[in-house]
Amino acid sequence: MQDQWRIASYDPEWVKEFNRLGVALREALGSAAIRIDHVGSTSIVGMEAKPIIDIQISVVNLDDEKTYIQQIEQLSFCLRIDNPDKTKKYFRETHGKRRTHIHVRQAGSYAEQVTLLFRDYLRLSPEDCRRYSEEKHRLFDLYKDDRSRYVEGKGPIVWDILMKAHSWSQMVGWRPGKSDL
């Protein structure tokens, strides 16, 4: 499997891979998943990204784990119990599978909404996509051997873009659109 710890040019196969995984997740979860969305940089046409598919699943009650954990694990994903982010349950692919991050969040929560807002804003903002891509390259060059510092380093530009997205959301009356699946 090709190394996915790199920044790659946009690849239309990312959408196809999301759709393949999303359909399987939809079948496994049924109505337990309020939304299944392609999020992260691979969801933005033209954006350079680490070739890792990020999927956000929105559920009615994050604490009702019996409605989703086993169903997701049956699709060869593992719950990461060491995840420090208490706003989500985080799953990763099993060994040897294509790198995928699954984020299960409470429907309507701040974390769910801000993820969708960030994605939707960047889909309509080529200048901020360019700035974000440039910063990811800069940080990757600095921290290619330290993933956590790379992720941490993105914080300032993400917050800058989120401030712009917030203003934009008020001007246009943004609401999340229909679920991707």
**φ, ψ of residue 113 in degrees (nearest 5):** -65, -45
Domains and CATH numbers, the chain: 13-171 (3.30.460.10)
Q: List pLDDT tens digits, range 105-135.
A: 999 999 999 999 999 999 999 999 999 999 9
Q: List pLDDT tens digits, range 4-33.
A: 789 999 999 999 999 999 999 999 999 999
Q: List pLDDT tens digits, range 37-64.
A: 999 999 999 999 999 999 999 999 999 9
Most distant CA pair in the chain, distance:
45
**φ, ψ of residue 80 in degrees (nearest 5):** -95, 95
**φ, ψ of residue 170 in degrees (nearest 5):** -70, -35
Does the pLDDT value for residue 2 go beyond 80? no
Write down the pTM of the prediction. 0.96
